[in-house]
Homo-oligomer: A and B are copies of this chain.
């Protein structure tokens, strides 16, 4: 599908730049946006005029900061009422519904425990429907401006992205999740992979990672990865599987939650490390949920030098290290970020991790990539989902809007 260049193409591009600048840097004066985007001030006037007429953005009151000479800048920011999105984080033991506005402010939130076996008896769509509807009852005005429902899921997305081919949440896979909810609430439903959101959330939090090529590896109850290629999230289309946690580490190896053998996750996720540490046979089906305290305690014991946990974390480091070395054979990022609870145990994994990495040609000749650990406890998944969803609204709903004829006085 070819995109031809016309005035619409130009407007789309420049509106997208403006919305992106606002999304990245927050409210700003027209001149600042002009500097940030490279557009002329005249164009900023025209573009913001359109957006104001569409109630997409608002002029903010002047800030009472210490000001110098000259006309005070008028900062513009997102009109929070321009759109709303319902973000759903669906995890193994928990579900959380958040209503956010276009300005990325949380409006309301419902959080609930999730019986791991609930969806064996109950239709997950009905459950989600109920949660979203409850949020709507509590916020009817906002719900009328709803533009997206976005759901963070774990598992393998089917190619059409309407459901999951496989999920660690029992009973969730092999159903059309997006279709019925889209029909019910009349808005597009996005299914987003948790691992990939982590990458987007991380990029969002750390400005030095923007514009770079980054692989973010999450280590926790699962092992997941997201990649950005020069600031763009890789795999928006159908080809991005990014099942890094289920990359094979050892043929016929330890049993993974997914039912396969030898996945990285089976060695490096919390349940894998626990299983190794307690010398449970590798063929034993993994525990559905590992309490955070148990994992933290294991790290403590590792820190004290106890043999079993130390060895378990070494195995985990080796699995992640070989996985990364195999990834590097295909994709050579500027920087690798280790995130999630497992990042607190990275010092226990790193010896084997680096040994595995150094066994690869790319790491040997180009040097190890920059490795950072990021102990970000501040909701990277929520933030990734938030940014992803609002950007989606920016790009698809608001960037291509036609000019408003009445916006420009004669």
Q: Is A10 an interface residue (CB 8 A)?
A: yes
Residue ID in chain B nearest A264 by CB atoms: B329
Q: Is A80 an interface residue (CB 8 A)?
A: no
Contact (Cβ within 8 A) A333 B260: no
The segment from A108-116, A237-245, A269-277, A380-388 found at the interface with B is A237-245
Contact (Cβ within 8 A) A213 B229: no
Count the copies.
2
Known: A262-B359, A330-B331, A331-B241. Contact between A17 and B4, CB under 8 A? yes
Q: Is A60 an interface residue (CB 8 A)?
A: no
The smallest beta-carbon distance between A190 and chain B, in angstroms, is 18
Contact (Cβ within 8 A) B330 A242: yes
Tell me the residues in window 221-238 of chain A with beta carbons closer than 8 Å to chain B beta carbons.
225, 227, 229-230, 235, 237-238
Known: A244-B329, A260-B361, A263-B361. Contact between A238 and B213, CB under 8 A? yes
In the bound complex, residues from chain B placing their C-beta under 8 Å from that of A156 are 361-362, 365-366
In the bound complex, residues from chain B placing their C-beta under 8 Å from that of A331 are 235, 239-241, 330
Tell me the dominant secondary structure on chain A's binding face: loop
In the bound complex, residues from chain B placing their C-beta under 8 Å from that of A356 are 251
Q: In the bound complex, how far is the Cα of B325 from the Cα of A229, in angstroms?
A: 22
Residue ID in chain B nearest A12 by CB atoms: B5
Q: In the bound complex, how far is the Cα of B331 from the Cα of A330, in angstroms?
A: 9
Q: Is A6 an interface residue (CB 8 A)?
A: yes
The smallest beta-carbon distance between A208 and chain B, in angstroms, is 16
Q: Is A334 an interface residue (CB 8 A)?
A: yes
Q: Which of B13, B213, B243, B251 contacts A362 (CB 8 A)?
A: B243
Contact (Cβ within 8 A) B240 A326: no
The segment from A131-139, A158-166, A389-397, A401-409 found at the interface with B is A158-166
28 A-B contact pairs sorted by A residue (CB < 8 Å): A1-B211, A2-B37, A3-B13, A4-B14, A4-B17, A4-B39, A9-B9, A10-B10, A156-B366, A159-B366, A165-B365, A166-B364, A227-B330, A238-B334, A240-B332, A241-B366, A244-B330, A246-B360, A246-B362, A248-B322, A248-B360, A252-B359, A258-B361, A260-B359, A260-B361, A261-B359, A327-B330, A330-B331
